[in-house]
Amino acid sequence: MNVTEVDFKDDYEHPDDLEYILESVLMSNDGSAEFQSLEEKYNSVLLNQCQCKGSCDNIENCPHGGQYMYGPDGKELLLWNSEASPKPVIECNPLCECSRNSCSNRLVQYGPRRNLEVFDSPIYGSKGLRSKVNIPCRVFICEYAGELLTKSEAKRRLEANEALGLMNYVLVLNEYTSNEKQQVTIVDPSRRGNIGRYLNHSCEPNCQIAAVRIDCPIPKIGIFAARDIKAQEELCFHYGGEGQYVNTKNGKTCLCAAPNCTGYMPNTEID
């Protein structure tokens, strides 16, 4: 289910011959019951809209607010630290009664930040992503968008990539409540994706990911700054973050060169 927002902007393009998409889309229908279940979630609508008259800046005022806060300059929204705010991120949506002009709980739905650029990374020997300007800690950078896959299709693509020696872009986001796994979201931007696909892995990343829902049960995978990032610094996140990957000695060699580098890229694990 795509959110219709007139302010959504994504003017970036792929330097590669791929289909550029603005946000994640369903894989092709393979006729399986697993796909039908994924499609049902994709077309479902969250009905927990707010009836706020204020700014939706805290959970007392808004049933799903309080996950963002303005920075010291009061100009840009920041993601609360997970320790301070363990509640899942649910943004206000077109069904909410709050004013879009004053609501402080709408961020990812407006698309990626400006001044990002794809470049040839000398560290990884591949394409990478960086910003032309400084990025403050905890601000939103972009969505990691691609095709939403079933577990079966994801396993099939991973096996094909391994056999052909192709790069793996499949990201598996596991969400937990206490120790129980609640939802698995699998995104593959190798064929259809956005600028988020160019972030490389680092064992000491400057970015982190967060599940962000707007009007659909399937979350968007938001990429946020994990610390202050200087202009021209390559943007990276840990492919093993959020508990969706494991390291093995059979993994590909990691090139991040971070002081705490494990030496291997995390391998995708789908159970």
pLDDT tens profile 19-50: 999 999 999 999 999 999 999 999 999 887 89
Question: Would the pLDDT of 87 be above 60?
Answer: yes
121 within some domain: yes
Find the farthest-apart pair of alpha carbons in the chain and give their distance in angstroms, rounded: 56
Residue 219 has pLDDT above 90, yes or no: yes
Which of 81-90, 116-125, 157-166, 220-229 has the weakest average pLDDT? 81-90
Spatial CA neighbour of 67 closest among 82, 55, 45: 82
Q: Which of 67-71, 93-97, 242-246 has the lowest mean pLDDT?
A: 242-246
Q: Is residue 82 part of a domain?
A: no
User: pLDDT exceeding 90 applies to what percent of the chain?
Assistant: 56
Tokens of 184: 């698995």
Instruction: Examine the pLDDT at 180 and tell me if it is beyond 90.
Output: no
Question: Is there a domain that residue 11 lies in?
Answer: no
Residue 84 placed within a domain:
no
Domain assignment present for 69: no
Q: How far apart are CA 137 and CA 116, in angstroms?
A: 16
Residue 6 makes CB contacts below 8 A (sequence gap 6+) with none
Instruction: Let me know: does 1 contact 111? Beta carbons within 8 Å.
Output: no
**Structural domain boundaries enclosing 184:** 19-46+107-268
CB atoms under 10 Å from CB of 176, counted, come to 11
CATH number at residue 140: 2.170.270.10
SS3 at position 258: coil
In a domain, 61, yes or no: no
The answer to whether the CB of 39 falls within 8 A of the CB of 28 is no
**Residue 9 located in a structural domain:** no
Dihedral angle sign, alpha carbons of residues 32, 33, 34, 37: positive
Q: How far apart are CA 37 and CA 33, in angstroms?
A: 6
Q: How many angstroms separate the CA atoms of 266 and 255, rounded?
A: 12
Domain assignment present for 4: no
How many domains, the chain? 1
